[in-house]
Chain A
């Protein structure tokens, strides 16, 4: 075993340093190696057992779990759950002590792990130099910056930019209702302000969340507004303070606020992601939202592992196909359900071990038959009203029902008493809460780009509609005839 113990003196009161270090997700603010980080499942960063999921600048992803935290001792400890490097049995701890003879404190940072002998030197150097020592150095700079910022002169508020813009086309929600309420109109697409970019959109994703917004099930878009949460395109111009993007960059996004059904759009630049070359614009517009949804459903909301038994409703749908294929590559046994034999073939082709066709038999009974009466560990249900009750019946004891959509109508009022019969966990995740910051978007988008590279998900080949035919695309999506994804081309 390797035991690395490093320590340094920091010229700050111990309380000040502890306030920064005790935030288990705070390393993204000060550690130079950490690019993005989030606490899984939205837990508090001082929740014992919380998992921070972060990406290093070199692209590697690490998951670490908080083991203990003591404000009295100003100490916390954590272990690695997953890392690309073989840092086996990695346990680390941090402790701060006050130096009472000076206005300073001692920061101890220890790590122990079992490296393979051939990689021992490299891994010791990595942990000691790139993680611990680099962290010490960066914290000194960070503390200087914090203090500088707190006493610095605030800049005057930016005056509102010019109100002119360029001509474009938007699809407007004229009122809540059926597909016919969507209408094209000419619009001025305003100049980008501070922190904003204007994008010439080349492909716009159509998602069921747009249908929910159109029906008024979600109040994200008021009548008169523009639907759409996902698109790909090229940055046309940028406002001030957008250091990450320049005109000509290929970008995509999948986030609130809605407004994607348009030929051009001005929006916050920090919500954009740079697209990898291996993904075409149409594929990106078809994949980002559904892929990131599948990503957090499989990794954050529930954790699909080798040997997990998983049941996916609407297995031939946009998210369904990605869920099935990705779960399969994670080592799960996947049962899908579809509405036709043709869709069942598609579901099998993306990795389903067994497929149930709705209406031919009771799907809960079929799931029990496939699992020899055990039930599945996780049900992914975006059908909603029609399937909710039976989805509970599909679960093994301590199973997890992830209810993430309502294609057949709102789930409505349900008794939670029945969940006790199987100790069921119920999740009702909302896409927004997993994708509402730059950090979260970075984690979710990296995950799908990585999965694309490894083949855990496949680049979709969407069905194409013109932007002005958005209502036809909605009608198609709601008809349950479609497989895969739909994209509008401006």
Chain B
């Protein structure tokens, strides 16, 4: 079981950041690596069990299943159904936490997955840096004042 963890401080209130990221179909809006995305079967993007089907800018296609969404906790969880990355049992959690004294937001993105041992370290590095850290840093830049 491999684990990836990445977190950052977003210079905006948690409710403002949550409005953007809670939309499971919004990856093209706020990440630098997703070209286009749709929700399969035309379901609402906050229906548990909906599937987002998106294409990366490098051409790879990924299908992910929404497992949990909480406006109360400002978090959501999803698993990967199909991807070119070679991961199994991949479950990821995205969470926002208000930093109350400065009205900013702590954002954390974590994942656990299985992979063939010789590829595990490389995947942890590339998901951590190219997906999670890159996504969080784009979110940060979006709100930079």
Contact B99 A7 (CB under 8 A): yes
Given contacts A7-B106, A106-B106, contact A100 B100 (CB under 8 A): no
Write out, one digit per residue, whether chain A residues 103-141 have a CB within 8 A of any chain B CB (1) or not (0). 010101000000000000000000000000100100000
Determine the distance from Cα of A136 to Cα of B140 in the docked complex, in whole angstroms.
24
Contact B9 A108 (CB under 8 A): no
Q: How large is the interface on A (under 10, 10 to 19, 20 to 34, 35 or more residues)?
A: 10 to 19
The A interface is mostly helix, strand or loop, or mixed, namely strand
Write out, one digit per residue, whether chain A residues 1-31 have a CB within 8 A of any chain B CB (1) or not (0). 0000111110000000000000000000000
The B interface is mostly helix, strand or loop, or mixed, namely strand
Contact B133 A99 (CB under 8 A): no
Contact A136 B7 (CB under 8 A): no
Answer whether residue A387 sits at the interface, using C-beta atoms and an 8 A cutoff.
no
Contact B100 A6 (CB under 8 A): yes
Q: Give the residue name and chain of the A residue nearest to B106 (CB).
A: A106
Given contacts A6-B101, A7-B100, A8-B101, contact A101 B7 (CB under 8 A): yes
Contact A8 B99 (CB under 8 A): yes
Contact A100 B102 (CB under 8 A): no
Answer whether residue A102 sits at the interface, using C-beta atoms and an 8 A cutoff.
yes
Contact B100 A97 (CB under 8 A): no
Answer whether residue A194 sits at the interface, using C-beta atoms and an 8 A cutoff.
no
Given contacts A99-B106, A101-B136, A106-B106, contact A7 B101 (CB under 8 A): yes
Write out, one digit per residue, whether chain B residues 67-83 have a CB within 8 A of any chain A CB (1) or not (0). 00000000000000000
Write out, one digit per residue, whether chain B residues 86-100 have a CB within 8 A of any chain A CB (1) or not (0). 000000000001111
Answer whether residue A425 sits at the interface, using C-beta atoms and an 8 A cutoff.
no
Task: Find chain B residues with CB under 8 A from A98 CB.
Answer: 5, 7
Task: Find chain B residues with CB under 8 A from A133 CB.
Answer: 101
Task: Find chain A residues with CB under 8 A from B133 CB.
Answer: 100-101
Contact B7 A9 (CB under 8 A): no
Answer whether residue B6 sits at the interface, using C-beta atoms and an 8 A cutoff.
yes
Identify which of A5, A6, A99, A136 contacts B8 (C-beta below 8 A). A99
Answer whether residue B45 sits at the interface, using C-beta atoms and an 8 A cutoff.
no
Task: Find chain A residues with CB under 8 A from B5 CB.
Answer: 98, 100
Those of B92-145 within 8 Å (CB) of chain A: 97-102, 104, 106, 108, 133, 136-137, 140
Task: Find chain A residues with CB under 8 A from B108 CB.
Answer: 97
A172 to chain B, nearest CB (A): 62
Determine the distance from Cα of A102 to Cα of B106 in the docked complex, in whole angstroms.
12
Task: Find chain A residues with CB under 8 A from B7 CB.
Answer: 97-101, 106
B3 to chain A, nearest CB (A): 11
Determine the distance from Cα of A136 to Cα of B100 in the docked complex, in whole angstroms.
11
Determine the distance from Cα of A8 to Cα of B9 in the docked complex, in whole angstroms.
11
Q: Give the residue name and chain of the A residue nearest to B101 (CB).
A: A8
Task: Find chain A residues with CB under 8 A from B106 CB.
Answer: 7, 9, 97, 99, 106
Contact B137 A101 (CB under 8 A): yes
Task: Find chain B residues with CB under 8 A from A9 CB.
Answer: 9, 99, 102, 104, 106
Determine the distance from Cα of A98 to Cα of B106 in the docked complex, in whole angstroms.
10
A105 to chain B, nearest CB (A): 9
Given contacts A7-B106, A106-B106, contact A99 B9 (CB under 8 A): yes
Determine the distance from Cα of A104 to Cα of B99 in the docked complex, in whole angstroms.
13
Write out, one digit per residue, whether chain B residues 54-70 have a CB within 8 A of any chain A CB (1) or not (0). 00000000000000000
Identify which of B6, B8, B100, B137 contacts A8 (C-beta below 8 A). B100
Given contacts A97-B106, A101-B137, A106-B106, contact A7 B97 (CB under 8 A): yes
Task: Find chain B residues with CB under 8 A from A108 CB.
Answer: 97
Identify which of B9, B97, B99, B104 contacts A101 (C-beta below 8 A). B9
Given contacts A99-B8, A101-B133, contact A106 B99 (CB under 8 A): yes
Task: Find chain B residues with CB under 8 A from A97 CB.
Answer: 7, 97, 106, 108
Determine the distance from Cα of A136 to Cα of B8 in the docked complex, in whole angstroms.
20
Contact A5 B100 (CB under 8 A): yes
Task: Report which residue of A6, A98, A102, A106 has the largest number of chain B beta carbons within 10 angstroms of its beta carbon.
Answer: A106
Task: Find chain B residues with CB under 8 A from A100 CB.
Answer: 5-8, 133
Given contacts A99-B106, A100-B7, A101-B136, contact A106 B97 (CB under 8 A): yes
Those of B1-52 within 8 Å (CB) of chain A: 5-9
Task: Find chain A residues with CB under 8 A from B9 CB.
Answer: 9, 99, 101-102, 104
Task: Find chain B residues with CB under 8 A from A102 CB.
Answer: 8-9
Q: Give 28 pairs: A residue, B residue, CB < 8 Å, sorted on A.
A: A5-B98, A6-B100, A7-B97, A7-B98, A7-B99, A7-B101, A7-B106, A8-B102, A9-B9, A9-B99, A9-B104, A9-B106, A97-B7, A97-B106, A98-B5, A99-B7, A99-B8, A99-B9, A100-B5, A100-B7, A101-B8, A101-B136, A101-B140, A102-B8, A106-B99, A108-B97, A133-B101, A136-B101
**Which 4 A-B pairs rank lowest in CB-CB distance, beginning with the nearest?**
A101-B8, A106-B106, A8-B101, A6-B100
Which residues does A use to contact B, with CB under 8 Å? 5-9, 97-102, 104, 106, 108, 133, 136
Seed contacts A9-B99, A98-B5; 15 additional CB < 8 Å A-B pairs: A7-B98, A7-B100, A7-B101, A7-B106, A9-B106, A97-B7, A99-B106, A100-B8, A100-B133, A101-B137, A102-B8, A104-B9, A106-B7, A133-B101, A136-B101
